[in-house]
Amino acid sequence: MSLSADQQAEIEAQRATPAPTLRPTVAALEAMLFRPLPALDHGFVRVIDYMGDDAAIVQAARVSYGRGTRRVSEDAGLIRYLMRHRHTTPFEMCAIKYHVKLPIFVARQWIRHRTASVNEYSARYSILDREFYLPAPEHLAAQSSANRQGRGEALAGAEAAEVLDLLREDASRCHDHYARMLNEAPRDPARQGLARELARMNLTLNTYTQWYWKIDLHNLFHFLALRGDPHAQYEIRAYAEVLSRSVQAWVPQAWQAFRDYRLDAAVLSAQMLAVVRRMLAGEVVGQADSGLGRREWAELAAALGRPAA
């Protein structure tokens, strides 16, 4: 991750001028505020602002039936109840805003989550930096034979080196042509240069972009459940892991409930549940007589920690 001297100075200035407030704050998240948390080779995530905490979730849930008790253990129990029974609106009372630097191809996946407010760095008005994402060798993999949108075994040796060289050369050449079309540096007074909104179309998808991304906690949990899943693409998982650290600092009780009832839990279909009941009754059940397809049977076996065969 690289920050310019101006960017670093701006961060230090923001952190050096705290403002008094009457609203709830979270010390662990305040310690992260404005600081860039590295992601991939040149990317980062910065927490810019937030609203609410674990107590805000409890307050929103209790407004319908009065104050009740306010002991920490009971607050945690209520948050777990809300998560367990999928009462989502209390979690929407918390919101957070991030500044994210990420490759364009990751941004195109990310933007599919339409429940956030986004403002992206505009290459119509500004010039994109000469920074590209290049995977570490261990993340260069062949196409999976079992998953059309996943990776298989890692490439090795000369083949991996060739792929990295191609990625680096293509990105560098395209950015050089981008700069040449813009006629920015070094500037040739004899040339007018192409409009920025047109020159940008030549850039590769591993070029870095930036945006501000604001989202409520309920929808952030949904993002993390999908993009932090082992089946998600590695590059967006890297960002989900960084976001997760900030959420854990921000709302630790809600984060633990999310882990217990979403991330580390399993959802069983009616047919899967019927198979589990047969197993508990002492019946030996195989895929052939389970009523489940092979993929669903494998998912059930994985959830139960049993071999699929």
Q: Where are the domains of the chain?
A: 5-133+208-263, 134-205, 270-304
Of 232 and 69, the structure prediction assigns the larger pLDDT to: 232
- 174, 206 contact by CB (below 8 A): no
- pLDDT computed for residue 84 by the predictor: 96
Counting other chains too, the contacts that 106-110 makes at CB distance below 8 Å and 24 or more residues apart are: 106/133, 106/233, 106/235, 106/236, 106/239, 107/209, 107/211, 108/205, 109/227, 109/233, 109/236, 110/213, 110/227, 110/236, 110/239
- pLDDT computed for residue 190 by the predictor: 82
77: nearest Cα among 89, 92, 62: 62
Residues with Cβ within 8 Å of residue 276, at least 6 apart in sequence? 268, 300, 304
- 199, 178 contact by CB (below 8 A): yes
- pLDDT computed for residue 15 by the predictor: 85
Amino acid at 301: A
Spatial separation of the C-alpha atoms in residues 215 and 95, rounded to whole Å:
6
Spatial separation of the C-alpha atoms in residues 123 and 95, rounded to whole Å:
28
User: With bands split at pLDDT 50, 70 and 90, how would you rate the model's confidence at 183?
Assistant: confident
- pLDDT computed for residue 62 by the predictor: 86
- pLDDT computed for residue 14 by the predictor: 84
User: With bands split at pLDDT 50, 70 and 90, how would you rate the model's confidence at 146?
Assistant: low
Spatial separation of the C-alpha atoms in residues 203 and 185, rounded to whole Å:
17
- 168, 132 contact by CB (below 8 A): yes
Of 216 and 151, the structure prediction assigns the larger pLDDT to: 216
DSSP track, 71-82: -HHHHHHHHHHH
Highest mean pLDDT among 3-12, 67-76, 155-164: 155-164
Q: Is the dihedral of CA 174, 177, 183, 186 positive or negative?
A: positive
- pLDDT computed for residue 91 by the predictor: 97
Q: Does domain 5-133+208-263 have CATH number 3.30.1360.170?
A: yes
Query: With 60 as the cut, is the pLDDT of residue 136 above it?
Result: yes
User: With bands split at pLDDT 50, 70 and 90, how would you rate the model's confidence at 7?
Assistant: confident
Highest mean pLDDT among 10-19, 67-76, 154-163, 234-243: 234-243
Q: What is the SS3 assignment for 95?
A: strand
Q: Encoding tokens for residue 43?
A: 């990317």
- The CA-atom distances, in angstroms, between 235 and each of 36, 135, 166 are 17, 9, 19
Read off the pLDDT of each residue in 193-216 and give the average, rounded to a whole number.
95
Q: Encoding tokens for residue 286?
A: 């195989």
Spatial separation of the C-alpha atoms in residues 2 and 122, rounded to whole Å:
20
Q: Give the active site residues.
A: 227
98-133 tens-digit pLDDT: 999 999 999 999 999 999 999 999 999 999 999 999
Q: Encoding tokens for residue 13?
A: 């200035």
Q: What is the DSSP letter of 23?
A: S
78-94 tens-digit pLDDT: 999 999 999 999 999 99
Of 186 and 282, the structure prediction assigns the larger pLDDT to: 282
Spatial separation of the C-alpha atoms in residues 197 and 289, rounded to whole Å:
60
- 39, 2 contact by CB (below 8 A): no
For the question of whether the overall pTM of this predicted structure is more than 0.85, the answer is yes
